[in-house]
Amino acid sequence: MNLPFKPVLLWTDALVFAMIVCILLFAWYTTRHEHLRAPWRKVGRSASGMVSATVLLAFVLVGVLDTLHYQLALPSEKAEAGQRYAPEVLSALDALAAPLRMRQERTFSAPFAAFAHSRETIAQPDGTQRRDYPRLEHGGAHLKDPTKERLPDIARGALQGVALAALLWMLTSAIITGIAAARAGSRFADVSGKLWRGELDVPLRGVLVTLGILLFIALPLIVLSGHYHVFGTDKVGQDVLYLTLKSVRTGLVIGTVTTLVMLPFALALGIMAGYFKGWIDDVIQYLYTTLSSIPGVLLIAAAVLMMQVYMDTHAEIFDSVTRRADFRLLFLCMILGITSWTGLCRLLRGETLKLRELEYVQAAHAFGVGPWRIMARHVLPNVLHIVIITTVLGFSGLVLSEAVLSYVGVGVDPATNSFGTMINSARLELAREPIVWWSIAAAFVFMLALVLAANLFADAVRDALDPRMRALFDLPSLRRRPGRARQVAPRAAM
Amino acid sequence: MLRYIIRRLLYAIPILIGVNVITFTLFFVVNTPDDMARMQLGVKRVTPEAIERWKQERGYDKPLLYNAAAPDFGHFSDTIFFEHSARLFRFEFGKAESDGRDIGHEIATRMGPSLAIALPVFLVGLLAYVTFALLMALFRATYLDVSGVILCVALMSISGMFYIIGGQFLVSKLWNLVPISGFANGLNAWRFMILPIAVGLVGGFGESGRWYRSIFIEEINRDYVRTARAKGLTEGRVLTHHVLRNALIPILTGVVVVIPALFLGSLVMESFFGIPGLGSYTIDAIGSQDFAVVRTMVFLGSLLYIVGLILTDISYTIVDPRIRFE
pLDDT tens digit sequence for A57-82: 999 999 999 988 888 887 766 555 56
Cα–Cα distance for residue pair B302/B308, rounded to 1 Å: 10
Cα–Cα distance for residue pair A455/B157, rounded to 1 Å: 7
Task: Please tell me which residue of chain B has the smallest CA distance to A303.
Answer: B26
| pLDDT confidence tier of residue A476, bands split at 50, 70 and 90 | very low
Q: In B, which residues are within 8 Å of A485 by CB distance?
A: 140-142
Tell me the three state secondary structure of residue B179.
Answer: coil
Extract the runs of DSSP E, i.e. beta strands, from B144-289: none
Q: Does B227 touch chain A (CB under 8 A)?
A: no
Tell me the three state secondary structure of residue A129.
Answer: strand
Q: Of how many residues is chain B composed?
A: 326
Q: In B, which residues are within 8 Å of A305 by CB distance?
A: 286, 289, 291, 294
Burial of A487 (0-12, 13-18, 19+ CB in 10 A): exposed
Cα–Cα distance for residue pair A9/B126, rounded to 1 Å: 48
Average pLDDT, chain B: 84
Cα–Cα distance for residue pair A162/A170, rounded to 1 Å: 12
- Beta bridge partners of residue B143, listed in sequence order: none
| H or E, element range at A50 | helix A47-65
pLDDT tens digits, residue range B30-71? 767 777 777 777 666 677 777 777 777 777 777 776 666 666
Burial of A32 (0-12, 13-18, 19+ CB in 10 A): exposed
A464: left (phi over 0), alpha (psi -120 to 50) or beta: alpha
| H or E, element range at A465 | helix A438-465
Tell me the three state secondary structure of residue A121.
Answer: strand
From residue B60, how far is each of A22, A54, B37 by CA, in Å?
Answer: 47, 56, 10
Q: Does B50 touch chain A (CB under 8 A)?
A: no
The widest CA-to-CA distance across chain A, in whole angstroms, is: 99
| pLDDT confidence tier of residue A250, bands split at 50, 70 and 90 | very high
Cα–Cα distance for residue pair B256/A208, rounded to 1 Å: 46
Among candidate residues A173, A174, A249, A252, the one with its CA nearest the CA of residue A215: A173
Q: Do B298 and A431 touch (CB under 8 A)?
A: no
The pLDDT of A193-209, averaged and rounded, is: 85
> Could you tell me if B250 and B293 are in contact, meaning their C-beta atoms sit under 8 angstroms apart?
no
From residue A462, how far is each of A178, A197, A264, A479, B49 by CA, in Å?
Answer: 31, 27, 21, 21, 61
Angle at A147 between CA A144 and CA A153, to 5 degrees: 70
Cα–Cα distance for residue pair A112/A154, rounded to 1 Å: 8
Tell me the three state secondary structure of residue A415.
Answer: coil
> Could you tell me if A204 and A195 are in contact, meaning their C-beta atoms sit under 8 angstroms apart?
yes
> Could you tell me if A65 and A473 are in contact, meaning their C-beta atoms sit under 8 angstroms apart?
no
Q: Does B301 touch chain A (CB under 8 A)?
A: yes
Asked if omega into A434 is within 30° of 0 (cis), the reply is yes
Q: Do B301 and A452 touch (CB under 8 A)?
A: no
Q: In B, which residues are within 8 Å of A302 by CB distance?
A: 23, 26-27, 294-295, 298
ipTM, interface predicted TM-score of the complex: 0.86
pLDDT tens digits, residue range B128-183? 999 999 999 988 888 999 999 999 999 999 988 899 988 888 888 888 888 878 78
What pLDDT sits at residue A477? 44
pLDDT tens digits, residue range A2-40? 667 888 888 888 999 998 998 999 899 888 888 888 888
Question: Which of these ranges, A228-242, A389-403, B175-189, has the smallest mean pLDDT?
Answer: B175-189
Q: Does A312 touch chain B (CB under 8 A)?
A: yes
Q: Do A409 and B282 touch (CB under 8 A)?
A: no
B-facing residues of A in 361-400 (CB < 8 A) are 396, 400
Q: Does B210 touch chain A (CB under 8 A)?
A: yes
A-facing residues of B in 73-112 (CB < 8 A) are none
- Beta bridge partners of residue A90, listed in sequence order: A70
Q: In A, which residues are within 8 Å of B296 by CB distance?
A: none
Is pLDDT at A166 greater than 90 in this prediction? yes
| Cβ-nearest to A478 among B43, B141, B305 | B141
Is pLDDT at B75 greater than 70 in this prediction? no
Q: Do A295 and B302 touch (CB under 8 A)?
A: yes
Per-position b or e across A391-400, b if 16+ CB within 10 A of its CB: bbbbbbbbbb
- Beta bridge partners of residue A69, listed in sequence order: A8, A91
